[in-house]
Amino acid sequence: MYKIKTLNKISEQGLEIFDDNYEVGDNLEHEDGILVRSAKLHDYDFPAELKAIARAGAGVNNIPVDTCTEKGICVFNTPGANANAVKELVLCLSLIHISEPTRRSYI
């Protein structure tokens, strides 16, 4: 069984992919993998069993990639994961701007 530690709140829908071969939680020790959003890992004590770190979002600035590379830990992210939210925001702001010019000063 693989142990996956979550360091931030991860959507239940996103965790549904893990079957009975995985133990997922935020209080695990000797984890095989880490799921992280914004937690800073620069001072994190990586266990010897750790194989991968997955960042839920773009960028890896909160993960010490050089240290992970030296220890053979795979680091990856999910670029574009927030693309729908960005599109919705742009569309919403565009509609506000077009429909009510008086609101422009509030944006």
SS3 labels along the chain: CEEEEECCCCCHHHHCCCCCCEEEECCCCCCCEEEECCCCCCCCCCCCCCCEEEECCCCCCCCCHHHHHHHCCEEEECCCCCHHHHHHHHHHHHHHHHHCHHHHHHC
Question: pTM of the predicted model, to two decimals?
Answer: 0.75
Segment 5-21, tens digit of pLDDT: 999 998 888 888 999 99
Confidence band for 95, pLDDT divided at 50, 70 and 90: confident
